[in-house]
């Protein structure tokens, strides 16, 4: 039935997933929660494969009317000096700021001074994809139903914009990459302090999914997020890069477009970025493809000898094995960017903390249904609501049948988060 847009959904998981306690006193597990959260995947049949689905994302529309107010944060760690912009979801307001993306303006100082709260609303921390921002439609489809919920089921949310993205001015030579967890770490700590009673949840899309998974793995059992969702995670960046170079369409459309977006970002912030004396702008301007951009920018910036070394170190596949919070991953098998061969099927089967849902159709951050809605928003919203309102998140999650040994804990044989790059 796939020719009618009826995609097949498949769940990959460990033999025994995380045991969870429900607020009504009954027990469940992570697999059951993910399965119950996932409705049938019924996509627009005219968008019959991953390429057509993905290409439709190039059509620019406003999407759901989500309103933001922005605050600029300065990095506290001098090793990652610079600023980044966080857009907080707020109620509808009048007025337009043409220096920022649609429906976004800055907090007034007096407004932000009073933002702290002791309320217990769940709060979502959102990470966008490569060169994107809080204005992206794929993330607003998830945010809108959460913030529009009635009464005690209404969520709060904020989007962490990668440095230089979403019309934020870069203020140092330190940019972001697929391992750039530093701004997320600082922001989660700030949220925990500012909203001490709010349970925090995370969601990441594409590159943001890779960063979020790396952050969760780095934090391990100290992670302040209660649960997370990752959509269209590229997972194994080296495998994905090879796939982007394999065919004319992947190379000349996807890779070239992403490279052009990143080159545009670099040029937009040339004066600040040029303070990084390791970069050769003559070479950068000759770049055509994404792997060439990573070779000329990410490699020199972070000291990686090749783009392959960067990809291997920044991939989130091993980070998955170090995760110690419930993690729901959603990928499309026909995704031309976060390709199927890069999805860590075997690793998912070794950790009780993660469940992977793959759909046979959907493309990259697409999953278009009739009318333009995105299917991925449905399982994301359902999962987050279940974890926030049905699961006793303060109760410690438990493992059974000795699965702790499989969960990525440090051992003599394998340490999931032993990275090659460090400061």
Asked if 380 and 357 touch (Cβ cutoff 8 Å), the reply is no
Q: Which residues pair with 151 in a beta bridge?
A: none
Instruction: Say which of 335, 376, 403, 407 is annotated catalytic.
Output: 335
Residue 412 is among the residues annotated as catalytic for this protein: no
Yes or no: say if 227 and 159 are a contact pair by the CB < 8 Å rule. no
Q: Report domain extents, the chain.
A: 11-236+327-394, 238-314
Q: Which of 206, 241, 255, 315 is catalytic?
A: 206
Say what the pLDDT of residue 422 is. 76
What pLDDT score was predicted for residue 412? Answer: 57
Rounded Cα distance, 196 and 182, in Å? 21
Catalytic residue selected from 13, 168, 364, 376: 364
Tell me the backbone φ, ψ of residue 56, rounded to 5 degrees.
Answer: -70, -20
pLDDT at 60: 79
Helix-helix angle 237-246:307-314, to 10 degrees: 130
Active-site annotation holds for 319: no
Mean pLDDT per 10-residue run, the chain (423 residues)? Answer: 87 97 96 98 96 92 94 94 97 95 96 96 98 97 97 97 96 91 97 97 98 97 97 98 97 97 94 92 97 97 96 97 98 98 98 98 97 96 98 62 43 75 76
Instruction: Provide CB contacts within 8 A for 333, sequence distance 6+.
Output: 340, 358, 359, 360, 361, 362
Indicate the fold that domain 11-236+327-394 takes in CATH. Rossmann fold (3.40.50)
For residue 250, indicate whether it is catalytic: no
d(CA 120, CA 299): 43
In this predicted structure, what is the pLDDT of residue 418?
83
pLDDT value of position 170:
92
């Amino acid at each position: 039935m796939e020719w009618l847009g009826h995609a097949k959904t498949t769940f990959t998981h460990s033999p025994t997933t995380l045991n969870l306690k429900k607020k009504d006193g009954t027990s469940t597990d992570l697999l059951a929660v993910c399965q119950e959260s996932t409705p049938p995947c019924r996509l627009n049949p005219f968008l019959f494969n991953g390429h057509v689905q993905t290409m439709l994302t190039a059509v620019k529309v406003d999407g759901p009317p989500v309103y933001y107010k922005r605050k600029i944060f300065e990095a506290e760690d001098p090793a990652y000096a610079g600023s980044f912009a966080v857009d907080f979801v707020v109620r509808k307001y009048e007025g337009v700021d043409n220096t920022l993306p649609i429906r976004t303006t800055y907090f007034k100082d007096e407004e932000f001074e009073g933002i702290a709260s002791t309320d217990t609303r769940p709060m979502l921390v959102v990470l966008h994809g490569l060169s994107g921002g809080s204005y992206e439609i794929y993330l607003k489809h998830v945010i809108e139903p959460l913030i529009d919920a009635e009464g005690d089921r209404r969520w709060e949310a904020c989007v962490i914009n990668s440095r230089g993205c979403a019309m934020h001015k870069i203020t140092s030579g330190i940019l972001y990459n697929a391992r750039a967890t530093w701004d997320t770490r600082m922001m989660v700590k700030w949220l925990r302090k500012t909203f001490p009673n709010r349970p925090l949840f995370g969601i990441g899309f594409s590159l943001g999914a890779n960063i979020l998974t790396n952050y969760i793995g780095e934090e391990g059992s100290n992670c302040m997020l209660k649960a997370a969702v990752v959509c269209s995670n590229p997972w194994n960046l080296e495998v994905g890069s090879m796939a982007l170079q394999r065919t004319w369409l992947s190379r000349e459309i996807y890779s070239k477009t992403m490279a052009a977006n990143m080159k545009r970002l670099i040029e937009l912030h040339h004066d600040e970025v040029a303070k990084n004396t390791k970069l050769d702008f003559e070479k950068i301007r000759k770049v055509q493809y994404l792997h060439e951009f990573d070779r000329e920018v990410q490699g020199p910036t972070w000291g990686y000898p090749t783009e392959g070394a960067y990809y291997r170190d920044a991939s989130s596949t091993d980070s998955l094995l170090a995760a110690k919070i419930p993690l729901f991953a959603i990928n499309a098998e026909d995704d031309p960017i976060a390709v199927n061969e890069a999805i860590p099927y075997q690793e998912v089967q070794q950790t009780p903390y993660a469940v992977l849902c793959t759909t046979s159709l959907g493309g990259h951050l697409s999953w278009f249904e009739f009318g333009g809605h995105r299917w991925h928003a449905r399982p994301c919203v359902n999962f987050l609501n279940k974890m926030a309102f049905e699961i006793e998140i303060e109760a410690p999650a438990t493992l059974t049948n000795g699965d702790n040994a499989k969960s990525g804990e440090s051992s003599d044989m394998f340490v999931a988060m032993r990275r090659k790059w460090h400061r």
